Every structure is written in C-alpha cells, then in structure tokens.
A and B are shown apart, each in its own frame.
Chain A
Amino acid sequence: MSSEHKEVVLLPHQQDREHLLDLYRKMFLIRRFEERAAEAYTQGKIGGFLHLAIGEEPANVGTMAALRPDDDVFTHYRSHGHALARGMAPGPVMAELFGKATGVSAGRGGSMHLASLEHHFWGGYAIVGGHIPLAVGMALAHQYRGLDRVVLCIFGDGAVNTGAFHEALNMAGVWRLPVVFVVSNNLYGMGTAIERSSAVTEVYKRAAAYGMPGVRVNGNDVLEVEAAVRAQVEHARAGNGPSLVELVTYRFRGHSMADPELYRSKEEVERRKAQDPIVQFRRRLEEQGVAEAAALDAVEQAVEDAVDAAVRFADESPEPDPGTLFDYVYVNP
C-alpha cells in the first residue's frame, strides 16, 4: 500500500453538540492547565523541564477522541495534553508536575513521565524516539492474544530521524501489527526547523518505506484529527496493520520554559497565535449554532474552577514519604 494524502471526511457523531462541547472543553482545559503550570514553574513549584503544548491542543484532543478506553497510548515528553484528553484527572497530573506523592506517577516521574494504568496511558517518554518500539511490543502482545485493542504511539517530528523510529516502523510493518504511529509535526525539533533536519519534510511519505498507509492532516483542526486518526485506528482494529498519521501543528511556546526562541521570528509566532485553534473552534461552534456564547462561557468557567482545584490539590498534597525512596526499583527485590 502506498502513502497518500487523503481528503478527511467528518464522521456522523462529529455533529453532536455534546461531543463538540466535550472537545472544546478538553482543549480549553489543556490550555488553562498549561498556563497555570507555566506560572507554577516560574514560582519554583515545578522543577526540571516543562514542555508546553500550547497551540497543539487540537492534535492532543483529536487523537485521544479516536480511541476506545481499552486502547493503549504511548507518548513523548510533551504530554500533559494527551493525559488530560485521555481523561486523567487534572489534580493528580498537576501533583506529578509538583513532585508530590499524589501525582499520577507517585512523584517519581515528573512532567515528562506521566502515566496511568487505569487509562491505558503507558507513559510519556523523554528519550526522543525511544518509546516507539514499546508501542510495537504492546501491539505484538495484542496480536499474540488475539485481542482487538489498538496501540497509539505519539512522537514529534524530531523523533523520525532516530534509528528507533525506523526499526520500530519496519517491525510493525513486517508483522502487520495493530499500531497507529502519530507524528505531531510542530515544524521544529527543539530549535531545528524540519527542513534543516529531514531530507523529506512530508513525514507521512515515509510510511511507504514500511509498507503502511501514511496520511497527513491539519493538526490544528480537532475534527480532522479525530476523523483521520479514527480511520487508521479502525483500519488497525480490523486487522489491516499499522499506519502513520502526520498531524501538522505548531507550538506557541518555546520548546521548554528555558527556550529563548532564537531560531524563529516573533512575527512567525504572532501570525500563528492570531489563528489560535481554540478561539477558531469556539467561533465555529457559535457561528454554526452548535452552542451559544453562554454555554461556552459556562464550559470555560467549569474548566477554570477545575484547574484552580488541581493547583490547590497539588499545592496541598504531601511530598513522597522518604521511607519510600527504594519502592518500585524491583517488583521482587
């Protein structure tokens, strides 16, 4: 099968008011959550690195909307949005950023290593490309057991030039495994523009090398993302093997909080911010008569309250008990 650039056809349920409001709520939640995380970082409440996905919310929310609860997610270190979109509670996610005992990874992982067994959210990983083979292994486990669960593996455009990407996609292609590879192409691998790092900048075309379909969609449109990813998830679930979906998106903030952004112009960023996908989606819902302003305001207010509560929860939670330092090194020490 060759790679292709498909026309995205929206799905019937994407007309439903409740579904559309839920997508909006989740995107707005990610935006507010990350703004508050940035604030907490500057207050010294969050340590290490903090990688924000502000601007990439449609890609975050659209991918997760395409999955069943028992499907599996592997993602990278810019994954607050994926965790929240997957339904993980904001409080324990924020508490993990704060390094608290109540964090989703019990304070062992931090911002880059969020996980929840209950949500089949198998982790954020911070070695670029290093988690892609894990997704292949879990898909192999599903094939081995004859299950119809699908694994979704998210990584950035920087990851596609690692050896792990190549080895993993080839293995998935050889064994026709139920895994959907999603490249969140925000055009920069840290500070290096994709045209300076990739010989072929249309990442979806690489699918051809692994015998799987490749599709590219506008990652700033949550409905297009959901529809495109869902099509490939169902393709995998039906036993047709892996695929590669490229979501073209843009991050409004730096690579991490420490990024002075010398590699792109302020004008470029401002031009993008003027097309804020959350603002556009809200306008679309209002203009199409899906929801009136008051309903959307209410959604936003509920999110503000939830994020306030999440920050309070993280602030008030205890640090991990020093007596637990050696917990989890081994299952059987």
Chain B
Amino acid sequence: MADITYREALRQALREEMLRDERVFLLGEDIGAYGGSYAVTKGLLEEFGEKRVKDTPISETAIIGAAVGAAMDGLRPVAEIMTINFTLVAIDQVINNAAKMHYMFGGQFRCPMVIRTVGGGRRLAATHSQNLEVLFAHIPGLKVVAPATPYDAKGLLKAAIRDDDPVVFIEHSLLYGARGPVPDEDYVVPIGVSDVKRRGRDVTIVAYSRMTREALIAAEELAKQGIEAEVVDLRTLRPLDMGPVLDSVARTNRAVVVGEDWRSFGIGAEVAARIQEEAFDDLDAPVLRVNQLEVPTPYAANLEKLAFPGSQQIVEACLEVLNVRVGAPVTAG
C-alpha cells in the first residue's frame, strides 16, 4: 500500500491494463509526445509506442467515433477528451452512437470503450469550468463514473476498461494532485457501487468526485459541533447505486446532496427524488441540495469563489436540515 496521487493512480491503471490486454490502446489530443494535458499519460508513449498511444488531430468527433468503431471490432479503446467541455462538439458520437450501439441493432454489436475526460477547472471562465456529468448520466446505454480518491480512480478505471459497455470516466482537474493509499496488488472497484466514506448518525451527505472531499471536510467541521455526518460517495452516477444512500437515510433521517454541477435538473435532483420516492417515511426534513450557483462560471477570482460550492455551504445545509429536529423538542416542551 503506497500513498500516490490521483494522477499517478490513473496512469497506473492505464499502464497495467495495457500490459494485461493487447486490445487496450489510447487515443486523444496530445496524449503522447506532449505527455497529456494533465500529464496522466506521461511516459506511456515511450513505453508502448505509437501504435498503442495515438496522438490525434483536434477532432473530438473523429476521436470518439473512431473509438466506437474500433470497439465494435473488439478492441478496447480508451479515448481521452482533454476536458468535458470538448465532449460537447462530439456529443452525437457519445449519445447516438456509443450509447445506442448494443441496443439499436438488437444486441449484435458491443461497444467496450472508455471516454476519459475531465470536469472542474478554475480561473478558466465559462466554457472551461463546467461539470456536465448529468448530460451523460441521463442516457440509458452509458455508464458514468466520477471517482473522488486515488484508490477509486485506479480501481474504477480498470473496471471501466474491462467493461463490455461504453463508460464515460470523469476525472476532476483539481483532484490530480490529491494523494491517497493505493494497494500494490491488482484490484478493481466495481462500477455501480456507492461507498460510505465516513460513518455518522445525524445526517447523510451524498456526494461524488471532488465534492466528496468537500463533504469530508464539512463532516470534520460538523464533528467539532457534536454532529456526526455520514458521507456517501456515489462513485458511479449511472447505474446509480442508491442502496447505501437509503440505508444511511433510514438511520439519519436527513440528507444533503452535493454536486459541483448546476442545481436545476442535476444529479442532486435525481438523488433527492429517489430518496423521497423510496424513503419518504424515513425523512424528518426536506432533502437539501448544494451546487454551483446558476451562472456561467465567471473569470474574476472573487466571483468564481461565490459561484462554486464548498465545505462551508455543505455545513450550512446540514445545520439547516438538522435544525428541524433540534427545534422539535423545543416546540414539544
């Protein structure tokens, strides 16, 4: 067990899967000679050569489309799209081709591919700071993964590469330097399994990707006030594993759902809806959401800081859902 960065965990996953399976290859913009815009693929061109680490033109449609075509013939491409914002110019390939490939032709074809891409971003303004995971999580036929820790990043990327369905694997630009323990031996983290990252009895915080870290910071803060928050990390957004969330809400009776995406029609809206559909009687307070405010991301540092959620907003939301219970005995008394 070594402490490594999220970036290194991802590189290890790519390298190990390329060693394990000749069918795995990488394609994307500047992943080879340049070393990857976030340096995840650094060194892989030197180790595996141009056949398996393919620098592409700036052609996202062709990158994803070519990955689909190669996957249909049995290869296991891992396409890197430099940021999630750039998937927008190729969304047809993801939604109309990758997601439909198995279904629309009656199960004849498979599309075992991974689209690695990056959400988040700071001081990059409106078109380079988006969290667009919900666009993919909406689509039957896709699997969508958004890990928060080096351990999950490595294990989920290995699972994604071995999966027979198309997986959109969403990294976070602010997590690449984050460190955490990763086993030396081979392991996978199964797709579609949420994970309790912290135990607590008073309130459930549901998060994913970088917001899991913010939720854990918030939980530490709340603990100082004698409030024990449970943090459930979704890890996979589709298929969504609500089991640990519902188990937790059954004990805490309160939930806050956190995402870096916009609130309206977002991941949090889905999770909150499922909680009330499946655990209405467990709830002692409305489910609250913490998200990016509904503006395109501004460049100015102070405005940007206002727009994004962080641990402080999570703490406040937890206190708000708890106040209902704290207030109840007062009324009774």
Contacts and interface: CB of A to CB of B under 8 A. Distances in A.
B124 interface: no
Interface residues of B, number: 43
B106 A104 contact: yes
A37 B141 CA distance: 31
Main SS of the interface on chain A?
A: mixed
A328 B103 contact: yes
Contact of B66 (A74, A116, A137, A327): A137
Given A327-B107, A332-B165, A144 B74 contact: no
Contact of A122 (B65, B93, B109): B109
Given A131-B97, A330-B165, A333-B239, A168 B105 contact: no
Interface stretch (B56-64, B149-157, B203-211): B56-64
Contacts of B201: none
A104 B107 CA distance: 11
B70 A115 contact: no
A108 B56 CA distance: 34
Contact of A141 (B75, B96, B165): B75
Contacts of A105: 104-106, 108
Contact of B103 (A125, A167, A329, A332): A329
A133 B110 contact: no
B106 A108 contact: yes
Interface string B6-39: 0000000000000000000100000000000000
A133 B165 contact: no
A204 B77 CA distance: 31
B109 A170 contact: no
A34 B215 CA distance: 61
A137 B104 contact: no
A219 interface: no
A183 interface: no
Given A134-B72, A333-B239, A103 B106 contact: yes
B60 to A, nearest CB: 8
B31 to A, nearest CB: 15
Given A136-B62, A332-B165, A141 B70 contact: yes
Interface residues of A, number: 46
Nearest to A74: B69
B106 A137 contact: no
A133 B63 CA distance: 8
Contacts of B68: 133-134, 137
B72 A122 contact: yes
B92 interface: yes
B22 to A, nearest CB: 9
Contacts of A174: 57
A115 B109 contact: yes
Contact of B104 (A109, A116, A144, A168): A109
Nearest to A143: B51
B67 interface: yes
A137 B72 contact: yes
Contact of A117 (B70, B109, B163): B109
B109 A130 contact: no
B105 A164 contact: no
A140 B70 contact: yes
Contacts of A134: 65-66, 68-69, 72, 97
Contacts, number: 137
A134 B56 CA distance: 15
Interface in A170-186: 170-171, 174-175
B275 interface: no
B181 interface: no
A328 B112 CA distance: 14
B141 A330 contact: yes
A106 interface: yes
A132 B65 contact: yes
Contacts of B102: 328-331
A136 B62 CA distance: 8
A260 B185 CA distance: 66
B106 A168 contact: no
Residue in B61, B75, B77, B143 whose Cβ sees the most chain A Cβ within 10 Å: B61
Nearest to B74: A141
B98 to A, nearest CB: 10
A80 interface: no
A109 B96 CA distance: 13
Contacts of A104: 106
A107 interface: yes
Given A113-B104, A131-B97, A171-B57, A138 B73 contact: yes
Contacts of A144: 25, 51, 70, 75
A91 interface: no
Interface in B78-120: 89, 92-93, 96-97, 102-110, 112
Q: Which of B62, B97, B141, B143 has the most CB of A within 10 A?
A: B62
A225 B89 CA distance: 35
B241 interface: no
Contacts of A141: 69-70, 73-75
A136 B67 CA distance: 9
Contacts of A140: 66, 69-70
B140 interface: yes
Interface string A247-279: 000000000000000000000000000000000
B202 interface: no
The 4 A-B residue pairs whose C-beta atoms are closest, nearest first, are A133-B65, A137-B69, A106-B106, A137-B66
18 contacts: A105-B105, A108-B103, A130-B65, A135-B69, A136-B69, A137-B66, A138-B73, A141-B69, A142-B73, A163-B89, A164-B65, A167-B61, A167-B65, A168-B61, A168-B62, A171-B56, A330-B141, A330-B143
Interface of B: 25, 51, 54, 56-57, 59, 61-62, 64-75, 77, 89, 92-93, 96-97, 102-110, 112, 140-141, 143, 163-165, 239
Interface of A: 72, 74, 103-109, 113, 115-117, 122-123, 125, 127, 130-142, 144, 163-164, 167-168, 170-171, 174-175, 327-333
